């Protein structure tokens, strides 16, 4: 089952790694074609980010290891898209 999109909650310290470096490390992971990092919150010591990764067959374990080697931490995987193509989430109306 190829993983095509992941949305991750990643925290890093204020100083390291910088966002450009973090993006380059993630983009170098096998299967990754594109990465988007958005800062969601900042406090005295940490920066919270929302990271969206897309590709053809993302190596999730290699991605997690690569992020952790930078000193950042994957708090959660908030979205996974897998299969033959990217299927957009359709919110249910209630």
For the stretch 57-93, pLDDT in tens is 999 999 999 999 999 999 999 999 999 888 888 888 8
Structural domain spans, the chain? 3-82
Distance (Å, whole) CA 49 – CA 41 = 7
Q: What is the pTM of this model?
A: 0.90
Please give the CATH number for the structural domain made up of 3-82: 3.30.70.1340
Q: DSSP labels for 56-91?
A: SS--HHHHHHHHHHTT-EEEEEEEEEESSS-----P
């Amino acid at each position: 089952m190829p993983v095509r999109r992941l949305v991750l909650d990643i925290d890093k310290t204020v100083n390291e790694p910088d966002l450009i470096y973090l993006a380059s490390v993630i983009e170098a992971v096998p299967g990754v074609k594109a990465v988007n990092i958005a800062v969601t919150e900042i406090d005295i010591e940490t920066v919270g980010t929302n990271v969206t990764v897309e590709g053809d067959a993302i190596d999730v374990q290699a991605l997690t290891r690569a992020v952790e080697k930078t000193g950042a931490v994957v708090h959660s995987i908030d979205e996974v898209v897998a299969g033959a193509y990217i299927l957009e989430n359709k919110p249910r109306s209630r």
